[in-house]
Amino acid sequence: MTLAATIEIRGWCPGALRPMASGDGLIARVKPWCSALTLDQASGLADIAGRLGNGHMDITRRANLQIRGLRELRLTELHRALGRLDLLDPDAETEAARNVMVGPLAGAEGRALASALTGALTADRRLAGRLPAKFGWLVDAAGPLSIVGERADAALCLLPAGVALRVDGQWRGIARRDEAVSVALAMVQAHLEGREFPAPARMDIVPTPGRRRLGAVAAEAFGVAAPFGRLEASQLHGLVALAAKAGASALRLSPWRAVYVDAVIEGAGELGLIEDDEHPLLRVDACPGKPACSSASVDTRRDAQRLLAMGFDGSVHISGCAKGCARSAAADVVLVGNNGRYGVIRNGTTRDLPQRTIDPDDLLAALHG
């Protein structure tokens, strides 16, 4: 079996060591440590995407970066290049366990907590093996750009009183900062085994979710979004150049398919990146679709642009198939591709039953009744 002979079932995600076959070649998902890239790492990934792939990269909902259009004959070269950038795990099992997403404005203490959690997950192979596929962790601090409202199987949120812990969608209590990682791991294990776990200190305040904001979001932070999460190698090179000029040190990825720079930059719009929170494209989630994805039978992003041109002002999710990779939350209009047509769902997700079926040339019908 070759490296490219990878699984094509739900519940499994590609990695750099276990790439996934798609319509435009292999996809390798790179997981930045603590959701952040140094400028050298970001520049190196842009080089890799342009030299070994087709130049296309996708920012994922887990704040990772996917390189597209890779070929099996050059995977060894890919791994060597990622290793030089310190972006390659020692084995596929460690890579799979290292699903820790960190808030883009998390400070030094939050990133230290995330590093401790990552270290514990990658050091204990038995623990990693017990976690379900795609089990995701979230680490953040309460703030205006907090990601605690995003989907994750377990979350740790820094508060003045300690670290709030959430498992299976419920905040369970506050642990001491020096015990938070071990308590969180024990709590998750107990939950998976159906056991009760003594809750840490009670919580008087539940962490408040933030929301995506772009542009100058703080004195030394600037956010830009990539249309549909697609980031071209040339755009990433350009963003690194702007960040370096502004004196930044890192690019931080977010679950909003946006990148945050630790300095205020100028000129990102000229790269084709989005700086405005009200940009119409930010209301639309669309997977790569046909021909980039072998599971899709419709050109999702072309049709997304056509819907926007019709003046629809609600939220839209266009999915090439029923998997719904681009969005899990409900949208005002959901279009699900099937055999070259779209199933139409109003105020739901791809998991709901379509109310009608339309041709791609009849998109206007999806907006009315």
Condensed to tens digits (0 to 9), the pLDDT of residues 57-77 reads 999 989 999 999 999 999 999
Q: Which residues contact 117 (CB under 8 A, 6 or more apart)?
A: 100, 137, 139, 156, 181, 184
State pLDDT tens for residues 219-264.
Answer: 789 999 999 999 999 999 999 999 999 999 999 999 999 999 999 9
Domains of the chain are 1-210 (3.30.413.10), 215-271 (no CATH), 280-367 (3.30.413.10)
Residue 113 has pLDDT above 90, yes or no: yes
Answer yes or no: are the C-beta atoms of 85 and 40 closer than 8 Å. Answer: yes
State pLDDT tens for residues 284-311.
Answer: 889 888 888 888 889 899 888 888 888 7
Answer yes or no: are the C-beta atoms of 335 and 321 closer than 8 Å. Answer: no
Q: What local confidence, expressed as pLDDT, does residue 7 receive?
A: 32
Mean local confidence (pLDDT), 139-150: 87
Residue 112 has pLDDT above 90, yes or no: yes
**pLDDT, mean over the chain:** 88
Q: Which two tokens stand for residue 189?
A: 């294990």
Cis amide linkage into residue 280, ω under 30° from 0: no
Residue 144 has pLDDT above 70, yes or no: yes
Quickly state the pLDDT bin for 9 (edges 50, 70, 90).
very low
Q: What local confidence, expressed as pLDDT, does residue 125 receive?
A: 67
Residue at token pair 């099937």: 338
Q: What local confidence, expressed as pLDDT, does residue 53 receive?
A: 94
Amino acid at site 183:
V
Q: Is pTM, for the whole model, over 0.85?
A: yes
Residue 134 has pLDDT above 70, yes or no: yes
Quickly state the pLDDT bin for 98 (edges 50, 70, 90).
confident
Residue 133 has pLDDT above 90, yes or no: no
Of the candidates 103, 64, 327, the residue with the CA atom closest to the CA atom of residue 213: 103
Quickly state the pLDDT bin for 12 (edges 50, 70, 90).
low
Q: What local confidence, expressed as pLDDT, does residue 211 receive?
A: 82
Residue 4 has pLDDT above 80, yes or no: no
Mean local confidence (pLDDT), 120-136: 78
Do you know the residue count of the chain?
369
Of the candidates 310, 313, 316, the residue with the CA atom closest to the CA atom of residue 331: 316
Q: What local confidence, expressed as pLDDT, does residue 233 receive?
A: 96
CA dist 173 and 183 (Å) reads 10
More confident residue, 322 or 223: 223
Residue 10 has pLDDT above 60, yes or no: no
More confident residue, 113 or 169: 113
Quickly state the pLDDT bin for 369 (edges 50, 70, 90).
low
Residue 364 has pLDDT above 80, yes or no: no
Least confident residue range of 59-68, 99-108, 155-164, 204-213: 204-213
DSSP code at position 343: E
